[in-house]
């Protein structure tokens, strides 16, 4: 960072960086994000509160966006000043899908619920090469998730938000086959407002027994009432 000692970060909300702080704890810079990860940089001193006023600055591409040359922002992704979006890093926090597989095999009595972009991108064989956080191209091959679902009965998955919806919207015909095949372990969720996921599932004309599992019975298996 321009030859200076890198400052520590404050991290909230799925490891998103919300501030750069001085080693003594004074806030040097704060970050606000819209739902798509676009950032607004707020400059101020310790105790600065954007709710009571403060100057918003434009993202400065010449300095990688901040006075501290900070690239790690939304969910720990690196900010790309050319696209104005956070971009996928080579390594996801928590490791690769191989880490997930080892844990599933080591703890067969524990149910794990998969979710988020790093999980759902593995529904396609291009997971390791597609640079997008939310890939939108049709699936290639069968993906590694199907193999994990076949071999690890303690793996469930949450369909909510853009990651689950985006994975199936990429390839609706194959997505329907996946949902029907693994209907016993998929969960409908509401990670944010809106009915996009529900509206999409309605277009798939899923069998009634599959819908009941997604919307009710699978959840009741995990959390009986």
Say what the pLDDT of residue 85 is.
62
For position 193, which CATH number holds?
Answer: 3.20.20.140
First vs last Cα of the chain: how many Å apart? 53
Q: By C-alpha distance, which of 169, 162, 106, 110 is closest to 136?
A: 169
Domain match, 123 and 29 both: no
101 and 211 part of one domain:
yes
Does 75 share its domain with 145?
A: no
Q: What is the per-residue pLDDT for 29?
A: 75
Q: Is residue 119 part of a domain?
A: yes
Q: Bigger pLDDT: 120 or 64?
A: 120
Residue 218 has pLDDT above 50, yes or no: yes
What pLDDT shows up at residue 180?
98
| 212 shares a domain with 140 | yes
Q: Are residues 106 and 206 in the same domain?
A: yes
108 is a domain residue:
yes
Number of domains in the chain: 2
Q: In a 3-state reduction of DSSP, which class is residue 157?
A: strand
The least confident of 84-88, 125-129, 134-138, 192-196 is: 84-88
**Same domain, yes or no: 82 and 146:** no
Q: Which domain holds residue 52?
A: 9-87
> Average of pLDDT values for 26-48?
65
Mean pLDDT check: name the lowest of 21-30, 33-42, 85-94.
85-94
The residue out of 35, 56, 87 marking a domain boundary is 87
Asked whether the predicted pLDDT for residue 110 surpasses 70, the reply is yes
Residue 210 CA to residue 92 CA, distance in Å, equals 32
Q: What is the pLDDT of residues 56-100, one digit of tens each?
A: 444 333 344 566 666 666 665 666 666 666 665 544 445 678 888
Give residue 67's pLDDT.
Answer: 67
DSSP state, 5? P
Last residue of a domain, one of 87, 118, 136: 87
Question: Do 48 and 112 sit in the same domain of this protein?
Answer: no
What gap in Å lies between CA 9 and CA 6, rounded to an integer? Answer: 9
Q: Is residue 1 included in any domain, yes or no? A: no
Tell me, yes or no, whether 68 and 138 share the same domain.
Answer: no
Assess whether pLDDT exceeds 50 at residue 107: yes
CA distance 223 to 155: 15
């Amino acid at each position: 960072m321009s030859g200076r000692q890198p400052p520590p970060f404050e991290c909230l909300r799925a490891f998103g960086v919300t501030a750069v702080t001085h080693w003594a704890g004074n806030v040097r810079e704060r970050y606000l994000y819209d739902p798509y990860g676009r950032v607004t940089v707020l400059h101020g001193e310790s105790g600065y509160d954007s709710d009571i006023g403060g100057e918003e600055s434009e993202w400065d591409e010449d300095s990688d966006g901040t006075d501290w040359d900070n690239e790690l922002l939304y969910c720990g992704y690196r900010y790309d000043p050319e696209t104005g979006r956070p971009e996928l890093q080579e390594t996801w926090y928590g490791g690769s899908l191989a880490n997930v597989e080892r844990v599933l095999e080591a703890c067969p009595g524990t149910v794990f619920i998969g979710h988020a972009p790093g999980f759902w991108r593995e529904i396609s064989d291009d997971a390791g090469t597609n640079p997008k956080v939310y890939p939108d191209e049709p699936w290639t091959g069968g993906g590694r998730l199907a193999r994990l679902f076949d071999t690890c009965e303690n793996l469930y998955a949450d369909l909510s938000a853009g990651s689950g919806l985006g994975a199936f919207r990429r390839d609706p015909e194959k997505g329907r086959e996946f949902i029907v095949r693994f209907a016993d372990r998929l969960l409908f969720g509401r990670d944010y407002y809106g009915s996009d996921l529900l509206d999409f599932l309605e277009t798939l004309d899923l069998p009634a027994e599959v819908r009941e599992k997604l919307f009710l019975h699978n959840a009741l298996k995990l959390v009986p009432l």
